Structure 1
C-alpha cells in the first residue's frame, strides 16, 4: 500500500508535467479545420517568420503557395489571409455583422485610451463615432466642403510652383488643412511651425511605434506587460505619444468650444458635435478624439496618394502626356480645371483607378476579427480569428489582370475593373481600397473629391520629370523601389523636377491663388502673427 502511494506520488506529477508540456507544445499549431499555411513551430506558430517590412510582398508569396485563403498562427492566435475579391466580398461585406470586430491592441489603447476608430471594437462608441462622422462626411455633406478643397488645391499648385522641391510637405499641408477647415474651422497656410507639422510629428511617432518590430508582440504574449517601464522603451514612447496626441486634440477642441462660448461660431463640424454632444452621447474627451480621428484618417492617406500619383507620372511620361492631352481638349489653357470637368475625362478616371490598383496606399488592410465562427468552403474561421485582406495580391493576380506588374490605365477603359476578358469579377468593388463592410472609411467621399480636384490640377498645370543629374546633364533614373516602410506604402519622390507647363499656366496659377484668398479668410481668424506675416509675404 505504501509502495503504491509512493509510486503515485511520482507518477501523478509526471503525468501532469507531461500534460502541460503537450499543451504548451500545441500552442502555435494549426488545427485541421483551418485553411492551410506555412509550417508552424511550437509556441510561436508562424510569428517568427511574419515579415517586419513590406509585409504585403511575403503575404502575396504565401498566397501563391497556399491559395486565395490561408492561415497563419501567431502564438495562440489565428490570422486568416484573404487574397481573392469573391471571398473578400462574401466574408467581409456580406457577412460583416460577424467580421467587423477588431483585435484589442493594448499598445494603441495605452496611447489613445481606446478612442481610435480604426481599431475600436464594434459597439456603442464605435457606432456613435461613425454616426457623428456620417453627418459631416456623407456624399451630400461633402458638396458643401468643395469650396475649401478647391481653394486649398489652388494653393497647392502655387506652392509647387514656388517651391517644387518640397512635394511631400505641400501634399501634407493640403490634405491636413482641408480636414482642419472642415472639422475645426481652421486652416494651415504653411507646413512648418503650424498645426500641420505638429500633427504629422505626432502622427508619425504613433505610426512608427505600430510598425511590426517597433514594439514587442504584447497582444500575443501578454506576459511582456509585466516588464517595468524603465526596461521597456516602448512603454516610455507610448506615454510620450499619448501626451502629444492629447495636447493637440484638446487644443483643437478647446478652440471650437471657445468660439461657442463667445457666440462666434464658424459652423465647423466639431462645433456642431459640441452643441449636440447629448444627442451623440459623447463627452468632451471623446469629442476631442473624434476630431483627432478625422485628422489621422483624412490627412495621411490623401497626401500619400498624391505623392504616389506624381511619382507614377514621372515614371510613365507617356501616361502623363496622354492625360494632359485629354485635359487640354476639355479645359484648354485659358483657365484651370473646374470640378465638373472630371466627368468628361475618362482617361484620367482610368489613371486614378490604375494608381489604386498598381500602388495601393494600404496594400493590406487592418485586420478584422471574427466575432463568431464562420465557414469558407471546407474551412472554418474560428471566433476571435484575425482576418486580413491582401489588397496587393488581389490587384496583382495574373489570372485576372494582363501584365499586372505594368502600369496601364487603358485596362480600365477596356473593362469596368481593369480585368482581362473572361476574368471572374464576382465580388469586385472599386471602393475596396477604402476598406470593407462596416469598417469602410467614413471619409471616402471627401477623399475622392480631393483626388479628382488635384489630379486634374496637377496634370493641367505641371510637367513632371525625373531630375537632371548635374554631373551628366541627363535625366536621372527614377527608382520605383524607393518606398517607405510604414503602415502606408509611400513612394519616395523627393527628387522630382516639376515645372509649370507654360508661362500662361503659371499666370493662371497665380491668379487662382489670389482669388482663393476670399475663401481662406473665414478660416484664418485664429492664425498666429507669424502665420499672418507668412500669408502676406507668400
Structure 2
C-alpha cells in the first residue's frame, strides 16, 4: 500500500508541474493514445504546429513532453545533457530484457556497453573495414548486373538489407552471408519484422490492464526468436575462436569484433549474459536498418527526381580523384571531392529519418526549458520527423531539394543548415554507429549511382516514398528499372 501511495504522489507531482505546458486534452485511462493510433506522425506534427516546440501529452497514465526542432532539442540534450540523458524504461522493455541492453540501460552499465561498441567503431577501425564495404558493393553489383540483363523491374529492398546485415555481422561476429541464399534472406526478414513490430507493445507500456497479455504481442515472439538465433551465433563464434587458438595464427584484424570485446567483459564480470545478448540484438537491428533504409529512400528520391540523379552522376563521373577503372567510390578517399553527394545524403536524412521520434528519455530532475518547467520523471520524446518537416527551417519541406544545404558563409541559402538535422539523435545518447552509417551510405550510394541509372517504371506517377511506421521508418517495396552506366 505504501508503494502504491508513493507512486500516486509521484505521478501527481509530475502532473501538477507539467500542467502549465500546453497540449491536447487527455482522456481517462488512454490519455492521448487513441489519437496516435492511425497516423502518429501527422498527429505529432499537427500538435507541434498548434502548441509549439514544447507540448505535453499523456500516453495512457504516463505524462510525456514532446520536443520539436533543433534549437529546443539542443537546449535539452546538449546544454542540459545530464538531466535528459537517461532512458525512460518502458514496461515492455523491462519484461523483455530488463533494459540492460545498450539502447535501454542507464548509468554505469550503459557507459560500459557504449565503450565496448565504440571501441570497434573508431574512425581507424571503420577505415580498415572499408575493404569489406567495398567487397559488399562488388557483391551487390553482381546481383544488379543480372537484373540489368533481364530488363525487368525488381525490388532493391532485400539486397540493401543484406548489404547492411553483412557489414554489421562483420563488426559483430566477423562473418557475412550470401545474397542468393534463401536462408539468409529469412534472417533479414526476421530482423525486418522485429524493427517493424517494435512499436506494437505500446499499449501494454502505458495501460496496465493490458499487461497480462503481453506475451501474445508479435514483437515479443519475434524478439525471442531473434535472441535464440543470436545465442546460436555466439556459440558458433566461441567454437570458431577456440579452433583458431589451437590452429594457425590469425591476424589482429580477425580477432577484432564487438563480440570478442563483449565476451571479454562478460568473462571479467563487467556485464551479464542478458546484456551481452540484448546488445547484440540492438546492434544487429539498428545496424541493419539504419543504412539500408536510408539508401533505399535515397534511390527512391533520385528515381523520382532524375535531374538530381543526373547531377550526382555527372559529379561522380567527373571527379578528378577517381581513375576510370575505379568502380567503388570510397568514403575515406572521395568524401570531399563529390560535394553534391553530401548534399543528397543530408537531404535524405532530413526527408526520410529512419528514427521518427527517437527512443524515449526521462528527466532526472526538474528542469526549465523554453520557458516551461518539466518535472523530474517525465517521459521525453524527440519529435525528429516534425523537426525535419518544419517549413520555417526547411522551405518546401516535402520536396527533395539537396541544394538547400549549400552553405554561404554562416548561413544557408534555403534557411536550413546541417546543424538542424537530428536524424541520429543529439547529445550523449546519440547513435553509436553514426560514423559507420555515414561511411556505408556514402560508399554504397555513390557506387550504385556510378554504375547504374535507377528508373521509375511508371510514367504516370512517382514511386511511393511514404514509409511504413514501426520502431523506425521502413521504405515501401518499390520496383525499379535499372540501366548499366559502365
* TM-score of Structure 1 vs Structure 2, range by shorter chain: 0.7 to 0.9
Report what 1:308 is aligned to: 297
Computing the radius of gyration over CA atoms, which structure comes out larger, 1 or 2? 1
Report what 1:294 is aligned to: 283
The unaligned stretches of length 5 or more in structure 1 are 1-22, 469-474, 506-538
CA contact (8 A) 2:137 2:328 kept: no
Give the RMSD, CA atoms, in angstroms: 2.9
Question: What are the within-5 Å matches in structure 2 for residues 489-500 of structure 1?
Answer: 489-500=473-484
CA contact (8 A) 2:86 2:363 kept: yes
Judged with a 3 Å threshold, the aligned counterparts in structure 2 of structure 1 residues 144 and 436 are, in CA distance, closer, same or farther, namely same
Question: What are the within-5 Å matches in structure 2 for residues 141-180 of structure 1?
Answer: 141-163=125-147, 165-180=154-169
Deviations 1:213-240 (A, max 9, x none): x446223222333x3xxxx374364653
CA deviation after TM superposition for structure 1 residue 493, in Å: 4.3
CA deviation after TM superposition for structure 1 residue 243, in Å: 3.3
Report what 1:320 is aligned to: 309
Deviations 1:96-115 (A, max 9, x none): 21112222222233333434
Q: Does residue 231 of structure 2 align to residue 250 of structure 1?
A: yes
Match of 1:81 among 63, 66, 88: 66
Judged with a 3 Å threshold, the aligned counterparts in structure 2 of structure 1 residues 68 and 275 are, in CA distance, closer, same or farther, namely closer
Judged with a 3 Å threshold, the aligned counterparts in structure 2 of structure 1 residues 419 and 64 are, in CA distance, closer, same or farther, namely farther
Determine the C-alpha separation between the residues in 2 that align with 1:171 and 1:219. 32
Q: Does residue 318 of structure 2 align to residue 329 of structure 1?
A: yes
Determine the C-alpha separation between the residues in 2 that align with 1:382 and 1:467. 53
Determine the C-alpha separation between the residues in 2 that align with 1:34 and 1:191. 57
Shifted more, 278-287 versus 376-385: the winner is 278-287
Match of 1:410 among 390, 403, 407: 403
The unaligned stretches of length 5 or more in structure 2 are 1-8, 148-152
Report what 1:94 is aligned to: 79
Report what 2:441 is aligned to: 451
CA contact (8 A) 2:406 2:413 kept: no
Deviations 1:145-180 (A, max 9, x none): 111011111112222222462411110110001111
Question: What are the within-5 Å matches in structure 2 for residues 341-352 of structure 1?
Answer: 341-352=334-345
Q: Does residue 119 of structure 2 align to residue 117 of structure 1?
A: no
Deviations 1:29-59 (A, max 9, x none): 776654201123344432332x224422211
SS in structure 2 of the partner of residue 130 of structure 1: helix
Judged with a 3 Å threshold, the aligned counterparts in structure 2 of structure 1 residues 111 and 208 are, in CA distance, closer, same or farther, namely farther
Determine the C-alpha separation between the residues in 2 that align with 1:31 and 1:41. 19
Report the TM-score, using the length of structure 2 for normalisation.
0.86
Judged with a 3 Å threshold, the aligned counterparts in structure 2 of structure 1 residues 438 and 311 are, in CA distance, closer, same or farther, namely same
Shifted more, 275-284 versus 292-301: the winner is 275-284
Deviations 1:230-282 (A, max 9, x none): xx374364653343122111111112211222215632411243245445712
How many residue pairs match? The answer is 461
